[in-house]
C-alpha cells in the first residue's frame, strides 16, 4: 500500500503541482499544497488514490482561491495606490513574452465557468472520464459534453483576447 | 443517416469510449466524410487547447522532493497531532477542574439573579445555593443520590465526573415532560443549558412548583450529526436520572460519553456519542440563558 502511494507520488506529483499551479498561480504554494495532499493520503489510505489525490488537490485549491479573494479584498481596502510593475530588462524580453502568452491563456481560462474550467484542468492533468465524473458530480456521459464546450470556449476566448494585440502589432 | 454528436467525437478522441463504441464510430467515420471533417476539426481544437494549457506552466521546472522527505513530514505531523491531543486532554482536565467549577458558580448565580429579577417569588438572589429547596416533582420517585451526600454539605460542591454510559440519560417514566421553544423557555426564567453555536433540536421541561426546581433537557446537534443532550436541574432529581442511566448501562464500544457537573444543589448532565475530551470541550461552551 505504501509502495502504491509512493509509485503514485513518483508518477503524478508533477501533474498535481501543475494542476494546482493553474489554480493558485504560485509555484511555491502549488508545491506546498501538493505535498500536503500526499501527506494526507498517507493518513487516509484512499481506495482510489489517483482520483482521491486530485479531488483533495481541487478542494485545497478552492479553499486557497477563497482565501486569496479575501486577502485581495482586504488589500484593496488597505491601499488605493496602483501596483507599479518593475520595468523589464531588455535581456528579459523572452521571459516577458512567455509571461504575456501565459497571461492571455490565464485570462481566457478565467472566462470559463468554474465547472468547465475544473473539468478541463482535470482532463489535462491526466484524469479519465470516470475519474472526472466522480469528482465533479457529473454523469460520465456529460464529461464529453463539458469538455467539448470548455475547449471551444477557451480557444474562442483566447483568440478574442489576443486579436486586439495582433491588430496593434500589425498596425505598428 | 445519423451523424456522430460532437461530444462523442471528443470522447472518442479522448479514448474514453468502450472498444465496442469506438468500433461503431470508426465504421461510421469510414463512410461519412462530414463526420470525418468534424473529427479533424475537433482533433485540431483538442490539440490547440492542450497547446494553450501547456503555456500555463511555471517558469521553473517542477522538482519533486524525495518520498522519504514526505514520509518524514507525515511522521512529524502525526507526532505533533498526538502531542496536541495529549496536551488538549491535559488542558481540558485542568480547565474542567478549575475553570468550570468556578464558571458554574457564575452561571448559576446569573440564573438565580435572572430568576429573582424576572419573577416575584420568594427566591432571594443572595440566598446561597445550598439552601435551594429541592422539591421532588413526582412524589412516588425516591431520589437516589450517588456519590457524596448533597444535604450534609455546607458549601457548594464542584465536581466533575466522566462516565461512559450505554445510553443517553433517559427521561424518567414518571413526571410529565412538555416541549418548549427556546424563546419561551428563556422568557419564563428557566435555566436552559445549551452549547453556544449549536442548533437546538428540542427543549423539554418537567415543571415544578418553582422554575428553579424544574428539570430542563436540551437536545442539540453537532455538524457531524451527533446528538448532544444536556439536562439541568436540582441535584437530587438529576442524581436519580443519572442513576437510571447507569442502571441501564450495558456497555458497548460506541457507548456515549457523559459528563456531569454539580454546583451546590444543582446538577448538570451532558451526553453525546463523541469522545470524552470533545464532550468536555463542549461543556466549556455551555450557556444557560
Domain boundary residue, one of A84, A103, A129: A84
E strand or H helix that includes residue A74: helix A49-78
Residues of chain B with Cβ-Cβ distance to A153 below 8 Å are none
Convert the pLDDT of each residue in A32-51 to its tens digit.
Answer: 999 999 999 998 888 888 98
Cβ-Cβ contacts under 8 Å for B14 (sequence gap 6 or more): A123, A129, A144, A147, B46
Query: Is residue A84's pLDDT more than 50?
Result: no
Q: Looking at per-residue confidence, does B109 or A4 come out higher?
A: A4
- Residue among B50, B64, B77 minimizing CB distance to A13: B64
Query: Could you give the CA distance from residue B4 to residue B232 in angstroms, rounded to a whole number?
Result: 70
> Does residue A133 sit in the same domain as residue A53?
no
Domain boundary residue, one of A45, A61, A84: A84
ipTM score of complex: 0.77
Number of inter-chain CB pairs under 8 A, A vs B: 97
CB A59 within 8 A of CB A51: no
CATH number at residue A5: 1.10.1740
Is the minimum CB–CB distance between B180 and chain A shorter than 8 Å?
no
> Does residue A90 sit in the same domain as residue A168?
yes
> Does residue A158 sit in the same domain as residue A147?
yes
By residue count, chain B amounts to 289
Task: Check CB contact under 8 Å for A18 and B62.
Answer: yes
Q: Is the pTM of this model over 0.90?
A: no
Instruction: Give the pLDDT of residue B116.
Output: 63
Tell me phi and psi for residue B55, to 5 degrees. -75, -20
Domain total in chain A: 2
- DSSP letters, A100-137, are HHHHHHHHHHHTS-HHHHHHHHHHHTT--HHHHHHHHT
> Does residue A115 sit in the same domain as residue A74?
no
Instruction: Give the pLDDT of residue A162.
Output: 87
> Does residue A19 sit in the same domain as residue A79?
yes
Chain A CA closest to residue B13: A144
Q: How many CA atoms lie within 13 A of A132 on its CB side?
A: 26
Residues of chain B with Cβ-Cβ distance to A109 below 8 Å are 53, 56
Least Cα distance to A109 among A163, A154, A64, A160 occurs for A154
Convert the pLDDT of each residue in A51-70 to its tens digit.
Answer: 899 999 999 998 887 877 77
Query: Could you give the CA distance from residue B96 to residue B276 in angstroms, rounded to a whole number?
Result: 12
Domain boundary residue, one of A84, A112, A132: A84
Residues of chain B under the 70 pLDDT cut = 1, 99-105, 113-175, 209-212, 240-255, 288-289
Helices A114-124 and A93-110: angle between axes, nearest 10 degrees: 130
In the stretch 94-153 of chain A, residues with CB closer than 8 A to chain B read: 95, 98, 101-102, 105-106, 108-109, 120-121, 123-124, 128-129, 140-141, 143-145, 147-148, 150-152
Instruction: Give the pLDDT of residue A102.
Output: 85
Least Cα distance to B168 among B237, B245, B221 occurs for B245
Calculate the CA dihedral of residues B270, B92, B251, B81 and round it to 10 degrees. Answer: 130
The conformational region for residue A137 under phi > 0 = left, psi -120 to 50 = alpha, else beta, is left
Tell me phi and psi for residue B149, to 5 degrees. -70, 140
Structural domain harbouring A161: 85-172
- Report residue A72 CA to chain centroid gap: 19
- DSSP letters, B198-211, are S-EEEEEEE--SSG
> Does residue A160 sit in the same domain as residue A92?
yes
CB B252 within 8 A of CB B240: no
Least Cα distance to B228 among B169, B149, B182, B142 occurs for B169
Instruction: Give the pLDDT of residue B165.
Output: 41
Least Cα distance to B214 among B183, B184, B246, B175 occurs for B175
Residues of chain B with Cβ-Cβ distance to A38 below 8 Å are 70
Domain edges within chain B? 6-51, 86-287
> Does residue A63 sit in the same domain as residue A110?
no
Amino acid at each position: 500500500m505504501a509502495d502504491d502511494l509512493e509509485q503514485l507520488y513518483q508518477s503524478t506529483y508533477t501533474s498535481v503541482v501543475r494542476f494546482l499551479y493553474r489554480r493558485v498561480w504560485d509555484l511555491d504554494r502549488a508545491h506546498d499544497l501538493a505535498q500536503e495532499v500526499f501527506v494526507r493520503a498517507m493518513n487516509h489510505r484512499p481506495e482510489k488514490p489517483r482520483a482521491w489525490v486530485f479531488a483533495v488537490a481541487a478542494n485545497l485549491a478552492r479553499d486557497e482561491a477563497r482565501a486569496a479573494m479575501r486577502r485581495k479584498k482586504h488589500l484593496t481596502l488597505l491601499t488605493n495606490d496602483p501596483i507599479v510593475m518593475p520595468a523589464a530588462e531588455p535581456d528579459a524580453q523572452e521571459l516577458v513574452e512567455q509571461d504575456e502568452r501565459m497571461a492571455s491563456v490565464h485570462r481566457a481560462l478565467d472566462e470559463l465557468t468554474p465547472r468547465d474550467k475544473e473539468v478541463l484542468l482535470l482532463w489535462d492533468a491526466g484524469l479519465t472520464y470516470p475519474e472526472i465524473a466522480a469528482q465533479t458530480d457529473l454523469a460520465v456521459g456529460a464529461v464529453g459534453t463539458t469538455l467539448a464546450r470548455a475547449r471551444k470556449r477557451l480557444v474562442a476566448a483566447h483568440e478574442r483576447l489576443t486579436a486586439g494585440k495582433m491588430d496593434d502589432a500589425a498596425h505598428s | 443517416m445519423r451523424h456522430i454528436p460532437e461530444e462523442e467525437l471528443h470522447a472518442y478522441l479522448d479514448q474514453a469510449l468502450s472498444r465496442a463504441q469506438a468500433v461503431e464510430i470508426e465504421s461510421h467515420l469510414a463512410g461519412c466524410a462530414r463526420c470525418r471533417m468534424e473529427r479533424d476539426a475537433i482533433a485540431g481544437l483538442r490539440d490547440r487547447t492542450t497547446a494553450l494549457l501547456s503555456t500555463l506552466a511555471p517558469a521553473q521546472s517542477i522538482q519533486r522532493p524525495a518520498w522519504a522527505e514526505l514520509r518524514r513530514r507525515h511522521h512529524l505531523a502525526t507526532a505533533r497531532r498526538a502531542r496536541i491531543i495529549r496536551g488538549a486532554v491535559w488542558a481540558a482536565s485542568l480547565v474542567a477542574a478549575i475553570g468550570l467549577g468556578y464558571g458554574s458558580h457564575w452561571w448559576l448565580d446569573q440564573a438565580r439573579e435572572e430568576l429573582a429579577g424576572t419573577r416575584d417569588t420568594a427566591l432571594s438572589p443572595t440566598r446561597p445555593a445550598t439552601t435551594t429547596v429541592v422539591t421532588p416533582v413526582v412524589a412516588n420517585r425516591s431520589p437516589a443520590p450517588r456519590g457524596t451526600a448533597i444535604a450534609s454539605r455546607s458549601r457548594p460542591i464542584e465536581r466533575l465526573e466522566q462516565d461512559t454510559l450505554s445510553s443517553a440519560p433517559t427521561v424518567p417514566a414518571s413526571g410529565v415532560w412538555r416541549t418548549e421553544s427556546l424563546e419561551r423557555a428563556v422568557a419564563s426564567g428557566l435555566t436552559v443549558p445549551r452549547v453556544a453555536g449549536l442548533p437546538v433540536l428540542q427543549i423539554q421541561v418537567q415543571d415544578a412548583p418553582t422554575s428553579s426546581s424544574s428539570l430542563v433537557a436540551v437536545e442539540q446537534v453537532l455538524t457531524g450529526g451527533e446528538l448532544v443532550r444536556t439536562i439541568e436541574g436540582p441535584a437530587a432529581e438529576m442524581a436519580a436520572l443519572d442513576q437510571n442511566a447507569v442502571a441501564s448501562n450495558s456497555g458497548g464500544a460506541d457507548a456515549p460519553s457523559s459528563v456531569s457537573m454539580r454546583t451546590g444543589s444543582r446538577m448538570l448532565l451532558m451526553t453525546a456519542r463523541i469522545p470524552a475530551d470533545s464532550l468536555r470541550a463542549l461543556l466549556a461552551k455551555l450557556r444557560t440563558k
